[in-house]
Structure 1
Amino acid sequence: MKKLALLSALLTLALPTAAQAQTKPVTVRLQLKWFPQAQFAGFFVAQAKGYFKDEGLDVQLLPIGDQSPIQTVATGAADFGTTWITDLLTARQQGIQVVHIAQIFQKSGFTLVALKSSGINKPADFKGKRVGLWPSGNEYPAVALMKKYGLTSSLDSTVANPSVQAVTYPFDPSIVFPDKVDLVSAMTYNEIDQIVGLGYSMDKLKIFKAPDYGVNLLEDLMFTSQKVLDDKNFKGSGMSGKEIAARLVRASIKGWDYAVKHKAEAVNIVLPLCGNTCKGSGTRSDAKEHQTWQMNEVAKLYNAGPTMQGRAGYLDPALYKSNVALLKDLGILKADPSAGAVDYSVWQMATGKK
Structure 2
Amino acid sequence: MRYGKITSVLSAAAAAAMLLSSAALASGTEVATEKEQNFGDAGKITFCLDWTPNTNHTGIFVAQEKGYYKDAGLDVEVVQPPENGAVQMCASGQAQFAVDAQDTITGAWTQENPFPVTAVAAILQHNTSGIMSRKGEGLDRPKGLEGHTYSTWDLPTEQAMMKYVVEKDGGDFDKVKMIPNDITDEPAALAARQTDAIWVFYGWGYLNSEVEGVPCDFFYFKDIESSFDYYTPVIIANNDFLKDHADAAKAFLKATGKGYEYAVEHPDEAAQILIDSDNTGSLKGSEELVKKSQAYMADQYIADAASWGVINADRWNAFYKWLYDNKLIEKDLTGTGFTNDYLPQ
TM-score range, shorter chain: 0.7 to 0.9
Choose the corresponding residue for 2:317, options 321, 326, 348: 321
Other-structure match for 2:216? 205
Task: Looking at secondary structure, tell me which structure has more helix per residue.
Answer: 1
TM superposition shift of 1:221: 0.8
TM superposition shift of 1:104: 1.9
Other-structure match for 1:17? 32
Return 5+ residue gaps in structure 1 as ranges.
Answer: 154-160, 232-239, 280-285
**Counterpart contact for 2:145–2:166, Cα < 8 Å:** no
TM superposition shift of 1:249: 1.0
Return 5+ residue gaps in structure 2 as ranges.
Answer: 1-18
Other-structure match for 1:335? 331
CA distance in 2, matches of 1:73, 1:207: 34
Does the residue aligned with 1:212 lie in a helix, a strand or coil? coil
CA distance in 2, matches of 1:6, 1:70: 43
**Counterpart contact for 1:88–1:98, Cα < 8 Å:** no
Deviates more, 1:292-301 or 1:23-32: 23-32
TM-score of the pair, normalised by structure 2: 0.81
Other-structure match for 2:6? none
Give percent identity, aligned residues only.
20
**Counterpart contact for 1:110–1:187, Cα < 8 Å:** yes
Other-structure match for 1:182? 196
Q: Are 1:311 and 2:307 an aligned pair?
A: yes
**Counterpart contact for 2:311–2:339, Cα < 8 Å:** no
TM superposition shift of 1:319: 0.7
Other-structure match for 1:237? none
Give the letter aligned to residue 286 of structure 2. A
Q: Are 1:270 and 2:284 an aligned pair?
A: no
TM superposition shift of 1:18: 5.8
CA distance in 2, matches of 1:142, 1:6: 61
CA distance in 2, matches of 1:300, 1:141: 26
**Counterpart contact for 1:79–1:224, Cα < 8 Å:** yes
1:154-182 alpha-carbon deviations (Å, 9 max, x no partner): xxxxxxx5644142225432674342211
CA distance in 1, matches of 2:237, 2:312: 19
Choose the corresponding residue for 1:221, options 214, 219, 234: 234
Other-structure match for 1:115? 134
Give the letter aligned to residue 212 of structure 1. D
Give the letter aligned to residue 224 of structure 2. Y
Other-structure match for 2:74? 57
Give the letter aligned to residue 277 of structure 1. S
Superposed counterparts of 1:88-99, under 5 Å: 88-94=105-111, 95-99=114-118
Choose the corresponding residue for 2:63, options 18, 23, 46: 46
Does the residue aligned with 1:118 lie in a helix, a strand or coil? coil
TM-score of the pair, normalised by structure 1: 0.79
Paired residues, number: 315
Give the letter aligned to residue 193 of structure 1. L
CA distance in 2, matches of 1:6, 1:205: 61
Give the letter aligned to residue 241 of structure 2. V
CA distance in 1, matches of 2:202, 2:268: 18
Does the residue aligned with 1:305 lie in a helix, a strand or coil? coil
Q: Are 1:100 and 2:113 an aligned pair?
A: no
CA distance in 1, matches of 2:68, 2:103: 29
Question: Please, what is the CA RMSD of the aligned residues?
Answer: 2.9
